[in-house]
A and B are shown apart, each in its own frame.
Chain A
Amino acid sequence: MIRSEILREIAPILRPHLVVCNIGLPSQELHMIDDQPTNFYMLGTMGLSSSIGLGLALSQPKTVISIDGDGSVLTNLGTLPTIANNVADNYILMIIDNGSYGSTGDQPTYAGKKTRLEKVAEACGCENVVVCQDVDTGKTLQAAIDSKKMTVIVVKCDSGNIKLPVITMDPVVIRDRFMKAVSA
């Protein structure tokens, strides 16, 4: 499965929760598949989905799912020790690991070569690190939500993209709509 197929499958699981979605195609795909006020779409700033999600989880009680990519996590590897050492049990970091920089033309990442992000996360001190295959994403994510334990999920899937439009919603509208959903 490719990322857009995974997002389509897990959209009903994501819907009741706060979602911080990575820059580029992941946000465009989620926006097209199931736009919700509880989705925060990143329009720039590669690498910070996990950080924004952690800050959000530490500041209010609702479940927060950061959707990130292997390339983005590599951009901001310092996030993993911060996550490990500041446990928020309402936080899930879901890394869609397709071994490539999808939004820029599927150039390979080091995660698609020798680097194993799940081992990096464990070495950083993350206590619940789960690796799953693309077809098992839904049940793995649901189990992580139900566990009420901070979890890092690494989803192994195929690289590949679909054609879709950019998000034209104004960033302040995205943010304001999201904040109202957070406080609702």
Chain B
Amino acid sequence: MSIDKRIVDDLVANEISFVTTVPCKQLAGVIDEIEAREEIFHIPSNKEDEGMGLCAGAWMGGKRPAIIMQNTAIGVTINTLATLIQYYRMPLPMLISYRGELREPVACQVEMAVHTKALLAQMNIPTYHFHKQADVEELDMILKYTFMCNKPVAILTDANFWGGYGDQ
């Protein structure tokens, strides 16, 4: 089974039915799979804080949401995480492409990568780092944990997890 299908199977198994995405090359296969699944309403957003607003509304409407984004978005969404998702105590799984880690070809991506875990730690956001494909085994537990505690939870997936960037 492809890793993309495996991830989306876990989302569906955990009754996640509303997913917003901001594009990412590493997550393109997951986004395609989400778009293809009837169980999931896929709503692309233009910016990640907007996407978190959509997720907040969906959750209050009775759906389990998730957001898919790059780690650069942590810089965009600190205020929304603090004053909406955390302040109103809402669950939000964040499947994050961790750019700027091992096997990264674009130097600028490292500039946000070095802040990513520190910012998440500062926000007291539970954070998991998938570095090898086998790490995906924890996704199901992480999703259950997120909806148990009603918190935003970060799942950082780096280039090594995705098998590198190919010829890029």
Query: Which residues of A pack against B, CB within 8 Å?
Result: 20, 40, 42-45, 47-60, 76, 78-79, 81-82, 86, 171-172, 174-175, 178-179, 182-183
Contacts and interface: CB of A to CB of B under 8 A. Distances in A.
Contact of A60 (B41, B53, B61): B61
A48 B84 contact: yes
A179 B61 CA distance: 7
Contact of A53 (B46, B57, B83): B57
A45 B46 contact: no
Given A43-B83, A45-B53, A58-B41, A175 B88 contact: yes
A39 to B, nearest CB: 12
Closest CB pairs A-B (n = 9): A55-B57, A44-B83, A51-B53, A59-B61, A78-B46, A48-B53, A56-B57, A55-B54, A52-B57
24 contacts: A43-B87, A44-B82, A44-B83, A48-B49, A48-B56, A50-B53, A51-B51, A51-B57, A52-B60, A52-B84, A55-B43, A55-B56, A55-B57, A55-B58, A58-B18, A59-B59, A59-B60, A59-B62, A78-B50, A79-B46, A82-B44, A82-B50, A82-B54, A178-B60
A54 B61 contact: no
B47 interface: yes
Contact of A81 (B41, B46, B51, B58): B46
Interface in B47-88: 47, 49-63, 65, 79-80, 82-84, 87-88
Given A59-B60, A78-B45, 10 more contacts: A48-B80, A49-B53, A51-B52, A56-B57, A56-B58, A59-B62, A60-B61, A79-B46, A174-B88, A175-B60
B62 A52 contact: no
Contacts of A20: 57
Contact of A57 (B56, B57, B87): B57
B57 A44 contact: no
Nearest to A44: B83
Contact of A45 (B41, B44, B65, B84): B84
Interface in B80-132: 80, 82-84, 87-90
Contacts of B55: 55
Contacts of A59: 18, 41, 57-63
B94 to A, nearest CB: 16
B45 A58 contact: no
A147 B58 CA distance: 23
Contacts of A43: 83, 87
A165 B83 CA distance: 20
A148 to B, nearest CB: 18
Which one of B45, B46, B50 has the greatest number of beta carbons of chain A within 10 Å?
A: B50
B50 A56 contact: no
A49 B41 CA distance: 20
Contacts of A171: 87-89
A52 B87 contact: no
Contacts of A44: 79, 82-84, 87
